[in-house]
Structure 1
Amino acid sequence: MRFQGKLTNWNDDKGFGFVEPNGGGDRSFVHIKSFQKRSRRPAEGDLIIYEQVKEPQGKFKAINVSLVADRKVRPEPPKKSANPGALIVVTFSVILTATVLLKYLPPEVLYLYIATSTIAFIFYAFDKSAAKNGRWRTPESHLHFLSLVGGWPGAFYAQKSLRHKSSKTEFKRVYWATVMMNIFAFVWLFTGQGRHFLLAIVG
C-alpha cells in the first residue's frame, strides 16, 4: 500500500529524516537511498509518496519513495485522427459501386477493381512472407503496376493490415502517384472517348 506524507526533521547532511502520513498514522523513517529517480535532493516539507514496512524493532521505514513533484501526469492518449488514405479508398469504392449500379459504367469495371485489388493484397502478403524468410521478393514495380491498373484499394489495405511497405517513404510516394493516375483514368471513362473505349473493350 502506498502512502502520501510530508517530509519532516530532514537532515540533508546525513540524508535521512521522517515522514508524517497525510491523515494521521505512524510516521516512518526515510533514508535518501530509498528515493527512486529523484530530480533533486529532498528538502524539509516536501510531499512524498512511499510504501511503509515495519522493521524488527517495531519501527516503520519508508521504501520506494518518490517526490510528489516528480510524478508525471499521464499524457492523454492521442486522439485518433481520420486517415485520409482510408477516406479516399472508401469514397472511391462507394462512387465506383454507385456508378455501376446506376449503369453509368459496365460491371466489368467493378470486377476489374475487385480482381486487381485481391491480387495486389495477395502479392503484398507473399512479399512480406518472403522478406521474413529470406525468399525471392516481389519487385516493387510489379506492386506499383497492380496499383496503377486498379488494385490500389487492395494494396492500401494490405499496407495497413499487413504493415508492409507502409513506412517506406519513396515507395509510398510512387504508390500514391499510381493512385492519382488511376483515378484520373477512372474519371476519363465518363468522357466521350472513355465511353467509346469501354464499348470497344466490353462490347
Structure 2
Amino acid sequence: MLSSPPILWLGGRDVGSGSAFFFFSAYVVVINMAGFLAFAWDKHCARNGLWRVPERTLLSIAAVGGTIGALVANEPCVTKRARSRSGRICF
C-alpha cells in the first residue's frame, strides 16, 4: 500500500497534517512578536520625533493576530502619562 505524500518537507523530516498545531502556534508567536516590535518602534519614534509607523500597518498587524503583542507593547511604552489624585499612573 502506498502512503500519502507528506504535506511539507521540513529540515529532514516529513511534516504531515498532524503538525497543524505546531504551525498555528508558530504563527501566533511570530505575529505577536511582530505586533510587539511594531508598536514599540512606533512609541520610540513618537518620543524622538521620528517618522512613525503608519496606523494602517499597526492595525493590520493587530487584525491578523498580533493583538496580544500590541497590548503588551502598549503598557510599558506609553508616551503620555498622567497622574490621578491617588498617585497611580493612568491614561
TM-score, normalised to structure 2's length? 0.60
SS of residue paired to 2:65? helix
Task: Number of aligned residue pairs: give it.
Answer: 63
Partner of 2:38: 123
Partner of 2:68: 153
SS of residue paired to 1:163? coil
> What is the alpha-carbon distance in structure 2 between the residues aligned to residue 158 and residue 150 of structure 1?
14
Q: Decide which structure has the larger Cα Rg and report it.
A: 1
> What is the alpha-carbon distance in structure 2 between the residues aligned to residue 105 and residue 161 of structure 1?
33
* 1:106 aligned residue (9, 21, 27): 21
> What is the alpha-carbon distance in structure 1 between the residues aligned to residue 53 and residue 72 of structure 2?
18
Superposition pairs for residues 25-36 of structure 1, below 5 Å?
none
> What is the alpha-carbon distance in structure 2 between the residues aligned to residue 144 and residue 164 of structure 1?
18
Whose helix proportion is higher, 1 or 2? 2
> What is the alpha-carbon distance in structure 1 between the residues aligned to residue 25 and residue 49 of structure 2?
36
Q: Which of structures 1 and 2 has the larger relative contact order (alpha carbons within 8 angstroms, sep 6+)?
A: 2
Whose strand proportion is higher, 1 or 2? 1
SS of residue paired to 1:150? helix
Q: In the TM superposition, what whole-angstrom CA distance separates every residue of 1:147-181 from its partner, at most 9, and x where no partner exists? A: 1111111111111222259xxxxxxxxxxxxxxxx
Partner of 2:9: none
1:140 equivalent in alignment to 2:58 = no
TM-score, normalised to structure 1's length? 0.29
How far 1:106 moved relative to its partner?
Answer: 2.3
1:162 equivalent in alignment to 2:73 = no
Partner AA of 1:154 in structure 2: G
Q: Is the 8 A contact 1:121 1:154 kept in 2?
A: yes
- What root-mean-square deviation, in Å, do the aligned CA atoms of Structure 1 and Structure 2 show? 2.2
